[in-house]
Amino acid sequence: MKPALKRDPAPSLPTWRSNLLLIVIGAWFIGLTGRALWLQALNNDFLQRKGESRYSRVIEIGASRGMIVDRNNEPLAISTPVESVAASPADIEAEPADLRRLSQMLGVSTEELRGKLADTKREFVYLKRQLPPEQAEHVVQLGIPGVFLQREHRRYYPAGDVMAHIIGFTGVDEKGQEALELAYEDRLAGKPGSRRVIRDRLGRIVEDVESIRAPQNGEKLKLSIDARIQYLAFRELKEAVTLHKAKAGGIVVLDAQSGEVLAMANLPTYNPNSRGKVDAQRTRNRVVTDLFEPGSTLKPFTAAAALEAGLFDFSTIIQTAPGSMTIGKRTIHDAHPQGALTVAQVIQKSSNVGTAKMGLTMPSEMLWSMFSRAGFGTPPRSGFPGEVSGRLRAHATWKPIEQATMSYGYGISVSLMQLARAYTIFASDGVLYPVTLLKRDGPPEGTQVVSAKTAQAVRRMLEMAAQPGGTAPGAQVAGFTVAGKTGTAHKLEGKGYAANRYVSSFVGMAPASKPRVIIAVMIDEPSAGQHYGGAVAAPVFSLVAAGTLRLLSVPPDAPGKTTVLAPEELPVVREDV
């Protein structure tokens, strides 16, 4: 029997090594437990941010832009909800075929679409703004993950081109671009809010988590404009511009007792509801931004200065024969030579010679002061953007011939708004009122420019000018007395004046006994044969004044005057300055 083999004892690890291994494993488990506790219990912001980045979004809640209404609360500019197509490039999941279908539906190229989605770090990008609801619904039906709809608002203008130059328009982001939309952007725009939502993989909102900031809607803007009078003024101006084949035209209707603008229209015009490219020539509000030499419509202010100084009165005789007057190397002419005329007849007949003699009797500073206090040379401050101040040179630089021509409206430039505002002096017993496009809550504070006696005397002269024998019988209104003055001025061309290019104008008020409205009309370059202010602009005043007085329920002050001459029956009264 063989002896059993003796085996070697199994090797054993040192105790310290096993202990070290246990310590390392234990420390590892403790570290993992501590890390888990730290991330999930004590400091879980990181994991929450990572998780929320997959489904949680903060979206902007647009504020509704304030409505613009007329003085009778008729809407002139409103914001309607529309849908825009947006995407989250970080979440987009689309095959090439999906992108082709989406690009065709949106009307954009596939390359443009890929370019917008290229930056995958972005969480929001617009693909197409302000779509019709049915088109937006078709996009949703494609079911492309990461593509969703964003609610926005689009501005709509019910009056279209009739109110275009007053209201203006907004861009695709509802920011004011022109006119009152631009001037009152801060009041109309409001402040957007924001909210946190949860979206699914298709970009659809499945849960509204919380409101972060509530939106503040814009203010409602109430204008002084009367939409009824605006439509009337626009219609008559358009017919006159078409009839006389004019380059452009403008009209403004003021409330003579408050200085509020009741209507303001321009031609050519544009449609603010069209988001295509708009010609800058059509968006310009000529009533407040364009300058012209007023011609004879400035003569009443020369007469007012002469009366106020005590140098003349209503019946003072001025010799205008032989119908011309030479100053230095220049000669002033009357379109229809007269003999001896009273001051009132000088205005009635629109005598350049008679007006120049009044102007030259005064120191230049006195005449300049009258023009300046009437608001010429300074902007009317109506609140409309881009309004101009006009040109009134310092009196110290006037030469005698310049003082003479200045007295009848040459060498000075004004806007139609300035001219209409200046006539509040004669309509309100010498008080110049500030003009506004916003409805006033109370009577305005005016500035006394001339005495009530002087203003009333000039108003009687203007009444004579609008009667048979004056330059504007075409301004008459059945049932009402009318006062006003025509202007027919050659246009500047190079360093001189064009021989056959005119600005025809008329500024008047009615009823003359107690004026309620002031209406200023300007027709630029009439080319159909007539160019005198009495034949071109005065009939527009007549039609607009008749409708306006009726709309305002003004009682007739001359009920016995039941008929007026039709435009074709009016005598041609020459007035050429």
Range among 216-220, 487-491, 548-552 with highest mean pLDDT value: 548-552
pLDDT, average across residues 402-410: 93
Beta strand ranges found along 343-482 (DSSP E): 431-432, 447-448
Question: In the predicted model, what is the mean pLDDT of the chain?
Answer: 86
pLDDT at 53: 55
Distance in angstroms (rounded) separating the CA atoms of residues 228 and 488: 29
CATH topology of domain 58-222: Penicillin-binding protein 2a (Domain 2) (3.90.1310)
Distance in angstroms (rounded) separating the CA atoms of residues 459 and 427: 7
What confidence tens digit (pLDDT) does each residue in 28-51 have? 888 788 777 766 666 666 656 655
Within 8 A by CB and 6+ apart from 207, the residues are 197, 198
What confidence tens digit (pLDDT) does each residue in 507-529 have? 999 999 999 999 999 999 999 88
In Å, what is the CA distance from 507 to each residue of 1, 123, 389, 420, 454? Answer: 148, 60, 19, 7, 18
Say whether pLDDT at 95 is over 80: no
pLDDT band for 228, please (50, 70, 90 cuts): very high
Least confident of 358-367, 476-485, 530-539, 559-568: 559-568
Residue 401's SS3 state is helix
pLDDT at 60: 61
pLDDT band for 238, please (50, 70, 90 cuts): very high
pLDDT, average across residues 68-97: 84
Say whether pLDDT at 61 is over 80: no
pLDDT band for 391, please (50, 70, 90 cuts): very high
pLDDT, average across residues 122-148: 76
Distance in angstroms (rounded) separating the CA atoms of residues 506 and 484: 7
Q: Which carries the bigger pLDDT value, residue 153 or residue 286?
A: 286
Say whether pLDDT at 136 is over 80: no
pLDDT at 223: 97
10 Å CB burial of residue 23 (0-12, 13-18, 19+) is exposed
Question: Is 303 in contact with 346 (CB distance < 8 Å)?
Answer: yes
Beta bridge partners of 216: 191
Beta bridge partners of 77: 68
Q: Based on DSSP, count helices (H) and strands (E) in the chain, helices before strands.
A: 21, 19
pLDDT band for 259, please (50, 70, 90 cuts): very high
Beta strand ranges found along 147-204 (DSSP E): 147-156, 193-199
Within 8 A by CB and 6+ apart from 389, the residues are 377, 378, 379
pLDDT, average across residues 378-406: 93
pLDDT band for 482, please (50, 70, 90 cuts): very high
pLDDT band for 571, please (50, 70, 90 cuts): low
Within 8 A by CB and 6+ apart from 388, the residues are 288, 289, 290, 291, 379, 415
pLDDT at 181: 94
Say whether pLDDT at 316 is over 90: yes
The percentage of residues in the chain with a pLDDT greater than 90, rounded to a whole number, is: 57
pLDDT at 11: 61
Which of the following CATH numbers is that of domain 227-271+282-569: 3.40.50.2300, 3.20.20.70, 3.40.710.10, 3.40.50.300? 3.40.710.10
Report H helices in 265-328: 280-283, 286-289, 299-308
Q: Which of 84, 296, 382, 415 is catalytic?
A: 296
Whether the predicted model's global pTM rises above the 0.85 cut: no
Range among 13-17, 150-154, 485-489, 544-548 with highest mean pLDDT value: 544-548
Say whether pLDDT at 208 is over 60: no
pLDDT at 36: 74
pLDDT, average across residues 123-140: 76
Question: Is 157 in contact with 272 (CB distance < 8 Å)?
Answer: yes
pLDDT, average across residues 113-130: 76
Residue 296 annotated to the active site: yes
Say whether pLDDT at 479 is over 80: yes
The percentage of residues in the chain with a pLDDT greater than 70, rounded to a whole number, is: 86
pLDDT band for 131, please (50, 70, 90 cuts): confident
Query: Which run of H or of E encompasses 20?
Result: helix 15-37
pLDDT at 495: 74
Residue-range domain boundaries for the chain: 58-222, 227-271+282-569
pLDDT at 570: 58
pLDDT at 432: 97
